[in-house]
Structure 1
Amino acid sequence: MEWRPDKQLDIPIYQQIANYIQKRIAYGEYPPGTILPSERKLAKELEVNRATIVTAYDVLYSNGMIERIKGSGTRVHSDVWGLTRSRVPNWDLYVERGSFLPNLPLFQQIRDEVLEKNLINFASGELASDLMPTKMFKEILSKNDFQQSLGYDHPQGNLELRNSLVAHLKTHKHIDCSSQSILITSGAQQALYLVAQCLLEKGDAIAYEDPSYAHSLPIFRTMGLKTFKLPVNEDGMNPEDIIKLHQKHNIKMLFLNPIFQNPTGTILPIEKRKRVLEITNELGIPVVEDDPYSLISFSEEIDTSSLKSIDETGSVLYISSFSKIAASGLRIGWIIGPDKIIQRLADAKQQIDFGHSIFPQWLASEYIQSHYFDQNLKSLKALLTEKRNILISSLKEELTSELSFHVPEGGIHIWCSLHGDVNEFHLLEESLRNGVAFVPGSLFGSEKGYIRLTFGRVDSHLISEGVQRLKRAFVKLKK
């Protein structure tokens, strides 16, 4: 056999072998009844261990491609084409064949560990249940009659919600827009997906911050986009880097999170925000601004003006949601942009899901029109400030020799630089054993040696214990 499995591929060796044999059967090179090599013989030919061949044959057997005849060995099924029996689809092949890429495996592992085990959670980028306005929602539901139609709504989202957002954005974020320029989405994630799918094409060059949440999104890799990074320091990214990247790569779009950036927690100074718009207007590059955190500033003195609020040419596509200021489970996000763009995105969203569910839209509209919104926002900022301070105090007390960090003035993340030659993946592995979870910085595109600790999801009384467990993981790695 001339073919050999490729040990450099991400596909398991046994699966490569099963796929190869299945293709030979499909091409008629192994007709029904063909005796296949014994497990030992094939293992020797392919230079793999026998257990690998056993597993490959198990896959083919479960798919109905082969049969095992006692005393005769393994052969291609006599009814492989299903003339007298049904065949089970090879779902492994279908999973691998799909064009939509999965999340990074480590993100999947962290998610599964957090869901399945009772971990202290510094990993999840959401609010804890005690920070969500659950009681306020109950009061809204008890005092207001739901009288909306339960049929399909407007492709751009419920008009009442969009009108409520117009007032909300004007009051709280100083953004002037109309209901016609807003599309309601299933959170900010869907908004990013629609923008990438509808406004870009394979081979286009985009730029985003480094590190950045955008780096972890499989959307860009699925589409075959060329991605380039804008390094972030404690003062945010350097707008002049946009010019250099555009000259080299003809950047088609920027993805920025300038206010309390995820994962670093930094804020781009207002002078730099203005310079970003000057440069992008000169070059004709649209900016996608992801702004989940600007309303949860811990200081009234910080200028949290979004790019969109100072955008005079309509070059900024603005994305935000209720996930970080109310409840992630509402799945209410929105995107603001030129009418033509919003109509294009709305058409695509309608093809995907026929529009957003009316009930959470109604509840969100009632919420932001009520006094509950400002009341909860004030409480939220106070509680998040408390959580941040507890985490900072615990880190200074327990881990000053192990890491350093930037103190964020808003948002829910603390970005930590590890001291010495510490492998953040080994640290995560040991931390999970100790019952605490975080996200390695490399998953956000940064260089090795960083971790992100999120204080929005973890209960306040568990923060100090979580840091102590993290400290034990550091100690274990040093042994």
Structure 2
Amino acid sequence: MEWKPNFNEKKPVYKQIAEYIELKISTGDYLAGSKLPSERALAKELKVNRSTIIAAYEELRAAGIVTRREGSGTHVSADIWGLSHQRTPNWNRYVEYGSFLPNDPLARRIRKETQEKNIINFATGELSADLFPSSYFQQLLAEKPFDGYLGYDHPQGNLSLRETIVSHVREFKKVETSASSVLITSGAQQALHLIVQCLLKPGDAVAIEDPSYSFSLPLFQSAGLRTFLLPVDEHGVKPEDILSLYQKHRIRMVFLNPDFQNPTGTVLHLERRKEILELSSLYGIPIIEDDPYSLTSFTGKINPTLKSMDENGNVLYITSLTKIVASGLRIGWIIGPDTVIERLADAKQQIDFGHSIFPQWVAEQFLSSDSFSSHIVSLRNELKRKRDLLVASLKEQIGSKVRFHVPEGGIHLWVKLTEDIDENKLLEAAIKHGVAFVPGRLLGSEKGWMRFTFARPEAETIQEGIDRFAQALYLFD
């Protein structure tokens, strides 16, 4: 056998072997009913462990391609091309071969563990249920039952909601736009997905912050994009780094989270905002501004968004109600040039025929009510209280073992371990103690960082959560 498995490939060796044997069967090199090489003989020939061959043969057996009987070896199914033999699709192979990549295994593990009731959850980037404006929604549904049309709505989203958003962003974000320039999406993540799929092509270079939420998203890799990192310091990304990446790689798009950035909590300095917009205009580089947190500013001061400063239409602006109202509403929106919005709306219609009308109605009622402003004030106060509880608990129970920048808004605390401890192993220990966080490697390239989301746990559980984390941390002394 001239073929040999590639030990440097990410795909497990046993799967490579199973696929090669299946190919040999399909081309007639191994005939129906014929006996395949013994496990020992094939292992010796391919220079692998016998257990690897056993796993490969078992993969083929599960797919109905071979039969295995103790004492008689492994045979190609005698009726592999016949009508009587029923083959089961190799679903594992289909799952692995899809072009849309899965989330990182560690991210999937965290999501699974945080479903457990005994876990104090500093990992999930959302509000706790007590921060939702549930009483308003209950009152709304009691006093004003929904009587709207439940069919397909406009591809860009409900017109009343889009008009309300125009007024909302003018009042709170100083952004001037029109309903035709707004697309309603299923949260900010769908907005990012639509932009990547519709406005870029495989091989394009894009710049993302390091660390950032975008770092954790496989959608860039699924689309075949080349991602380049922009280091984030205490004032955000540096304009000169964007220029350098453009000169070296001709980046086609820059993704930024300027206010209370996820995960660092930093704010992009005003002068840097101006310089970045100048670069964007000079070189024609689109800026994707993701703004989930600016309204959470604990001081009440809202920085000018890049979109509000954009005089040339270079910024696509994304925001949502996920981080400030309720994640389950799945209401987000994109603001941009009409031609871009129409292109993205066409793609969204192909995916889901437009957004569900009921959550759009709820969102429109809430955004246009006086209750929205009072909710934001209450949210800021509660988030600040939770932040202070988290900071105080870390200082009291862990002290010099960690350091961090205290954010003035948002929902995340970016924490640096001052000792050389593997944050992935620390997570495993923490989960055993009943608490979860996000290891920094999911969000950035540097080691030894962790993200604690203070919005997700109930306020009364924060101190207990850090106590559990401290018990896990001290195991590494």
TM category (shorter chain) comes to over 0.9
TM-score by length of 2: 0.97
- Quick one: which amino acid aligns to residue 408 of structure 1? P
Letter in 1 for 2:387: R
- Do structure 1's residue 326 and structure 2's residue 325 form an aligned pair? yes
Name the amino acid aligned to 2:39: E
Counterpart of 1:53 in structure 2 is 53
- d(CA) in 2 for partners of 1:131, 1:52: 52
CA distance in 2, matches of 1:197, 1:183: 16
Q: Which AA in structure 2 matches 1:38? A: S
Q: Are 1:206 and 2:206 matched, yes or no?
A: yes
Q: Residue 350 of structure 1 aligns with which residue?
A: 349
* SS of residue in 2 equivalent to 1:206: strand
Paired amino acid for 1:428:
L
Query: Is the 2:66–2:75 contact (alpha carbons within 8 Å) kept by the matching residues of 1?
Result: yes
Show the counterpart of 1:435: 434
359-368 vs 465-474, greater mean Cα deviation: 465-474
1:394-443: per-residue Cα shift (whole Å, max 9, x none)? 11111222110000000000111111212111211211121111111121
SS state at 2:296 partner: coil
Q: Please name the residue that 1:5 is paired with.
A: 5
User: Which 4+ runs in 1 deviate beyond 4 A?
Assistant: none
Which residue does 1:337 correspond to in 2? 336
Three-state SS of the structure 1 residue aligned to 2:316 is strand
- Per the alignment, in what secondary structure is the counterpart of residue 142 of structure 2? helix
Distance in 2 of aligned mates of 1:212 and 1:105:
18
Q: Using the alignment, how far apart are the partners of 1:273 and 1:37 within structure 2? A: 66
CA shift at 1:56, angstroms?
2.2
Match of 1:160 in 2: 160
Local SS of the residue matching 1:115: coil
| Alignment-derived partner of residue 142 in structure 2 | 142
How far does the alpha carbon of each residue in 1:60-95 deviate from its partner, in whole angstroms, 9 at most, with x for none? 112110112454321000111242222111112211
**Quick check: 1:132 aligned with 2:132?**
yes
Q: TM-score, normalised by structure 1?
A: 0.97
In structure 2, what is the equivalent of residue 292 of structure 1? 292
Partners of 2:186 and 2:355 within 8 A in 1: yes
CA contact (8 A) 2:173 2:302 kept: no
- 1:27-426 alignment to 2 at 5 Å? 27-69=27-69, 71-116=71-116, 118-300=118-300, 302-426=301-425
Contact in 1 for aligned 2:202/2:223 (Cα 8 Å): yes
Match of 2:472 in 1: 473
CA–CA distance in structure 2, aligned partners of residues 129 and 15 of structure 1: 44
Moved more, 82-91 or 319-328: 82-91
Question: CA offsets per residue over residues 302-360 of structure 1, 9 Å max, x none?
Answer: 44221111111111100000000111111111000000000000001001111011111
CA distance in 1, matches of 2:48, 2:3: 13
Measured at CA, do residues 425 and 69 of structure 1 come closer, stay the same or move farther in structure 2, by a change above 3 Å? closer
Task: For residue 4 of structure 1, report the CA deviation from its aligned partner.
Answer: 3.1
2:176 & 2:74 partners in 1: Cα distance? 71
1:259-295 CA-to-partner distances (Å, cap 9, x unmatched) read 0000100001222212211121111111000000000
List per-residue Cα deviations over 1:74-118 (Å, max 9, x = no partner). 100011124222211111221122111111111111111112462
Whichever residue aligns with residue 11 of structure 1, its letter is: K
Per the alignment, in what secondary structure is the counterpart of residue 88 of structure 2?
A: coil
For 1:402 and 1:31, how far apart are their aligned partners in 2? Answer: 64
- AA in 2 matched with 1:313: N
Q: How far apart are residue 165 of structure 1 and its match?
A: 0.8
The letter for the 1-side match of 2:354 is G
- 1:270–1:303: 8 Å Cα contact kept in structure 2? no
User: Residues 114-158 of structure 1: CA distance to partner in whole angstroms, max 9, x if unpaired?
Assistant: 124621111100111111111211111111132221111100001
Deviations 1:151-182 (A, max 9, x none): 11100001111111111111111111110000
SS at match of 1:445: coil
Q: Output the CA distance in 1 between the equivalents of 2:302 and 2:165.
A: 21
CA distance in 2, matches of 1:5, 1:475: 44
**Which segment drifts farther, 228-237 or 48-57?**
48-57
- Counterpart-to-counterpart distance in 2, 1:207 and 1:153: 35
Range 89-98 or range 407-416, more displaced: 89-98
Measure, in 1, the Cα distance between the counterparts of 2:61 and 2:142: 58
Q: How many percent of aligned residue pairs carry the same amino acid?
A: 56
Report the Cα distance in structure 1 between the residues aligned to 2:465 and 2:5, rounded to whole angstroms: 44
Call closer, same or farther: CA 1:115–1:7 in 2, change over 3 Å.
farther
In 2, the alpha carbon distance for the partners of 1:70 and 1:286 equals: 63
When the two chains are superposed, the root-mean-square deviation of aligned CA atoms in Å is 1.4
| 1:354-399 CA distance string (max 9 Å, x none) | 1011111111111111122112111111111110000000111112
5+ unaligned residues in a row in structure 2: which ranges?
Answer: none
